[in-house]
Structure formats: structure tokens, C-alpha cells
Amino acid sequence: MTRQLKARYPGPGGMLALSFGFHLVVFLLIARCQVLPSFHPDEAQVTYVDMVTLPVVSPQSGTPAPTALEAAPKLPAAAAPVTPPASMALPAARTKAPGAAPKKDKPAAVPDEREFSERMAKLERQAGEKRQAEVLDRLRNTGRVGMPGATGTEAGSDYSSYVQSRLKDAFGEVMTSQTKSPQVIAAISIGPDGRIDYQVEKHSGDQLFDDAVARAVALAGRSLKAPPGGGKFRRVFRFRPEGVAVK
């Protein structure tokens, strides 16, 4: 019996190799299951990569998106100064100052509320600036935008604003209603020949008001100029009495 055991004993070297192999297997298993903190990916950085790839929402040329501008005063004082969004690069990855003592690796932490809001405000600002820059670029590089006959240098001279202005003038002349807060949503189309057409997407329930919108469109259509570039214009407008809160 003792002889049999002695025959199976691999000796000190063998035992060392066996121990090493066993520990390696355990270590790999732990690493595979992501139990060790050092194997965590840095999730925070990945989150903001996606943010700056948001699509630009400014379907109408010449109409600056107000969101970013309006959000600017709300930024916390510690926010970074505004920089031109020449390249919508991601927020720089965390870099360590030279010579700084290496920090201990912590588990990937969810940003606290303040950090989160600061980052969000910064990203929001950057997205808005990018949007505005693109709109301005488009206005600079495109020869056929703006109100027909205008030089394109006046603020707010885009065709949508032009149509809105004409509709507002006409609506002021014919608006009538029998309810307190009517509202009509209608898609206005203007063909290359300047002919106006409209399709009501949402009635007000007040026939007097609905007909007033029809009259306003007809009245505005008498003097409208055709869209620039020989194209067709289409935009959704909301007609309502002034001073009535929007639901």
C-alpha cells in the first residue's frame, strides 16, 4: 500500500506544477466571470460616444434651433467654455497628469447627479452648436435659400418665416371663432407656381374657426411668391388665437 502511494507521488516539482496549473484555472475562471475589478471596462466613456452622433434636427434651412441657445444660461458655472465644434470629437478620455500618483482602480462608477447633469449640459450645448454651425454653413454655401428676392443676409428671411408671416397677416384679418381656445393644425403646401394648398390635420371642433383658417390660407395665397429653387414647399402650421395657451 505504501509502495503504491509512493509510486503515484510526482515529487516536489510535480506538485508545484500541479498547483500552478490549478491556480491558473481558478484565476481564469474568475476573470471570465468578471469578478475581478481590474477586468471591468470603462463604461462611462462608451456612454458619451453615442451622444455626439445624434442626428441633427433642423429640417428647415435657415431656422436656427433654439434649444441649445436657450439651454446655455442654465449651464452650471463650472461648465467648460464654449468651443467651436470643429470636430465633434468625443470628450477626451480621462488622462492622467504627468507625474501624478496613480489612482487606485475603482469599479466602474455611475456618474453622480451633478457630474451627470454637467456632462449632459455640455453635450447638449455641443450638439446645439453643431446644429447651428451646420445651418449657418448651409446658408453660406447654398445660393437658393431665403425669401424670394431677398439677399439672404437678413435674419429670419427663410421661406418658412416668409409664409408664416403672410399667413399671420391674413389670419389677423379673418379670424373668427365661437369657442374659447380653438386650434387647427394644417399642412400648407406651395407649389413651384406659387399655388397654395392646405390639408387640415386636426380640426378645432369650431366650424367658424376652421373656416377662418381656410379663409386665411386663401387670402395669403393671393400674394405669395413661389418657393425658391423651383421646388415645392410643405410645412405644418398651427393656427390659434393669440394668448391662448397651447395644450
Partner 1 sequence: MKVFLLLILIMLTSGSGLASEEYLDVTAPSSRKLQLSIAPTTLLSGAASPEIGPELAELFAFDLSLAGVLQLAPAGSGSSAADLVLKSAYSVQGSSFTLECRLFDQLLNRELAAKRYTGSRKELRRMAHAFSDEVLRALTGQKGPFTGKIAYVSRVSGNKEIFLMDYDGHRPQRVTNNGSINLNPDFAPSGREIIYTSYKKGNPDLYRRELFTGSEARVSSRPGLNAMGTFAPDGSRISLALTKDGNSEIYLMSKDGKNLDRVTKNPAIDVSPAWSPDGAKLVFVSDRLGKPQLFVMDADGGNLRRLTSSGAYNVTPSWSPKGDRIAYARQGGGGFQIHAIAPDGSQDTALTVAGSNEHPRWSPDGRFIVFSSTRDGAEAIYLMRADGSAQTRISKTKVRESHPTWSTGW
Residues that bind partner 1 (CB under 8 A): 43, 46-47, 50-51, 54-55, 57-60, 63, 65-67, 110, 120, 123-124, 127-128, 131, 160, 164, 167-168, 171-172, 174-178, 185, 207-208, 211, 214-216, 218-219, 235-243
> Can you read off the three cell numbers belonging to residue 94?
480621462
CA distance 115 to 119: 6
Q: d(Cα 219, Cα 213) in Å, to the nearest integer?
A: 10
Choice between 60 and 189, CB closer to partner 1: 60
| Closer of 57 and 93 to partner 1 (Cβ) | 57
Q: What φ, ψ does residue 57 adopt, rounded to 5°?
A: -110, 90
HEC sequence for 111-141: CCHHHHHHHHHHHHHHHHHHHHHHHHHHHHH
Closer residue to partner 1, CB minimum distance, 20 or 116: 116
Least distance to partner 1, CB of residue 27, Å: 28
Q: What CA dihedral angle connects 225, 231, 232 and 237, to 10 degrees?
A: -70
Coil/strand/helix, residue 228: helix
- Shortest Å distance, C-beta 239 to partner 1: 5
Of the two residues 171 and 228, which places its CB atom closer to partner 1 in the complex? 171
Minimum distance, C-beta of residue 98 to partner 1, in the bound complex (Å): 31
Q: Are strands 184-190 and 196-202 parallel, antiparallel or unpaired?
A: antiparallel
DSSP assignment, residue 107? -
Minimum CB–partner distance for residue 81 and partner 1 (Å)? 20
Which residue's CB is nearer to partner 1, number 92 or number 109? 109
Closer residue to partner 1 (CB): 48 or 191: 48
- Shortest Cβ 173–partner 1 spacing (Å): 8
Alpha-carbon distance of 91 to 52, in angstroms, equals 9
CB of 145 to partner 1, least distance (A): 16
Q: What whole-number distance in Å separates Cα of residue 214 and Cα of residue 175?
A: 10
C-alpha 217: how far from its chain's center? 33
The amino acid that residue 120 corresponds to is M
Q: Which is nearer to partner 1, 221 or 228 (CB)?
A: 221
Question: 23 in helix, strand or coil?
Answer: helix
Give me the least distance between CB of 189 and partner 1, in Å please: 14
